[in-house]
């Protein structure tokens, strides 16, 4: 296998590379805002922007050292909101949901 990381764990390059890899692991889930944008574009763009800012804060904190790695954790709430909204959009698109009494 290719050598993915530097041997020196304190190297700045190593820290940037690890932060980038961790962001790419959660990128697929964050793309759920594209599905959510179909039914609720403002909410999806707001939560997506929060997630992007949180990843920038996380990368800066990750490269600064172990004590500052959790500063971008607020993006996890935005990601969770995106996932819930995407599930709700899918439910709405499939027609699974409560219909008002007057539409029966």
pLDDT (tens place) for every residue of the chain, 104 residues total: 666 666 666 667 777 777 778 788 777 776 777 777 777 888 888 988 998 898 888 888 887 766 777 888 888 898 888 888 888 888 877 888 765 555 44
d(CA 85, CA 44): 8
d(CA 44, CA 3): 38
Q: What is the pLDDT, as a whole number, of residue 2?
A: 64
Taking a C-beta distance cutoff of 8 angstroms, is the pair 32, 83 a contact?
Answer: yes
pTM greater than 0.85: no
Taking a C-beta distance cutoff of 8 angstroms, is the pair 11, 3 a contact?
Answer: no
Q: What is the pLDDT, as a whole number, of residue 93?
A: 78
Domain ranges of the chain: 30-86
Residue 66 phi, psi (nearest 5): -65, -30
Q: What is the pLDDT, as a whole number, of residue 98?
A: 65
| Torsion 63-55-76-19 (CA) sign | negative
């Amino acid at each position: 296998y290719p050598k993915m990381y530097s041997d020196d764990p304190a190297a700045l390059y190593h820290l940037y590379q690890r932060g980038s890899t961790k962001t790419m692991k959660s990128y697929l889930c964050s793309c759920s805002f594209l599905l959510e944008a179909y039914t609720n574009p403002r909410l999806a763009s707001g939560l997506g922007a929060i997630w992007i800012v949180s990843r920038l804060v996380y990368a800066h904190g990750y490269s600064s050292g172990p004590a500052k790695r959790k500063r971008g954790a607020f993006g996890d709430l935005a990601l969770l909101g995106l996932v819930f909204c995407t599930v709700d959009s899918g439910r709405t698109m499939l027609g699974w949901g409560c219909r008002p009494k007057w539409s029966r």
